[in-house]
Amino acid sequence: MIYVLLSVCCSVIVSVLLKLAKRYSIDIFQAITWNYSMAMILTWLIYRPVLNNVQGAPVSIYGSLAVLLPSLFVVIGMAVKTAGIARTDVAQRLSLFISLTAAFLLFNEAFTAWKFAGLIVGFAAILCAIPWSKQTGDRDNNGSAWIYLLVVFVGFGVIDILFKQMATFKGVPFPVSLFFAYLGSFVLSLIVLAWMVFTGRLKSPLRHIFFGWVLGVANFGNILFYLKAHQALSANPSTVFSAMNIGVITLGTIIGMVVFKEKLTTLNKIGIVLAIIAIVIITYTQTH
């Protein structure tokens, strides 16, 4: 379970770093761009992907991820800034709701009463977690917080589906596909960043690069330890699945309330409890 704990910590650290970005005047887009350079380097150093046999690679999936990963990262930064860590983590983890729906609609997976119950509870959790009032986050932008949360929810669901398609593609090893997804994300982000710097819209001091590299270590660590947890507990994937998601919501909520003084309404707290229940139900449906 140590790998699960490390993965949970890395995931929450990403949210904490995005929360701290505003405090230290870090430009989110620049940090996200350099984050992918570090994730790409770490993928190369740890997995040593062999890149000489990528014929027939799922280029469309790589391209989609290259666009969606950095774009969604920017939105996550805005969600953490306006809605707080707790709600953003709930929105991210409840994207399982979309994955489960896609499994039913797109991949013809059997639909059971338990799956339906998980979807209903997950939908109720989403409604409760939305910051309907303007009590937390950046007051100037709080009215748009629910939009950022919705994009995080939908975006992570789509990315999860793309990663599953990439992982099940037998023609190219997963580490190779992961490297190309990070490479594409970095190259596209770097092109946009270079254009913004060239046109004078942004300046790029070194602190943005260093912050992005730290963010990249945490981002990559989340994936690395999550995969290692599944390898170590291969006979109990549901344990990894539920512990990871519940752990992120719980730790994210605690840090958000204790460290950053985020205020949650009673309805929000009910939403977090319902989110945990929904994840337990969805995990149950995957093993029964």
Per-residue pLDDT of the chain (288 residues; tens, 9 = 90+): 799 899 999 999 999 999 999 888 899 999 999 999 999 999 999 999 888 767 778 899 999 999 999 999 999 999 998 888 988 988 888 887 787 777 677 666 666 787 788 878 888 887 887 766 554 444 445 567 889 999 999 998 898 888 878 877 888 888 899 999 999 999 999 999 999 888 888 776 788 999 999 999 999 999 889 888 877 877 766 677 778 888 898 899 889 988 998 888 888 889 889 988 988 887 777 666
And the tokens for 283?
Answer: 């995990």
In the chain, the N- to C-terminal Cα span, in Å, equals 22
Angle at Cα 232 formed by Cα 255 and Cα 182, nearest 5°?
65
Residue closest to 192 by CA, chosen among 206, 205, 204, 210: 204
DSSP string, 152-201: HHHHHHHHHHHHHHHHH-TTS-HHHHHHHHHHHHHHHHHHHHHHHHHTTS
The total number of structural domains that make up the chain: 1
Contact 137, 84 (CB under 8 A): yes
Q: What are the φ and ψ backbone dihedral angles of 139, each rounded to 5 degrees?
A: -60, -30
Parent domain of 132: 2-287
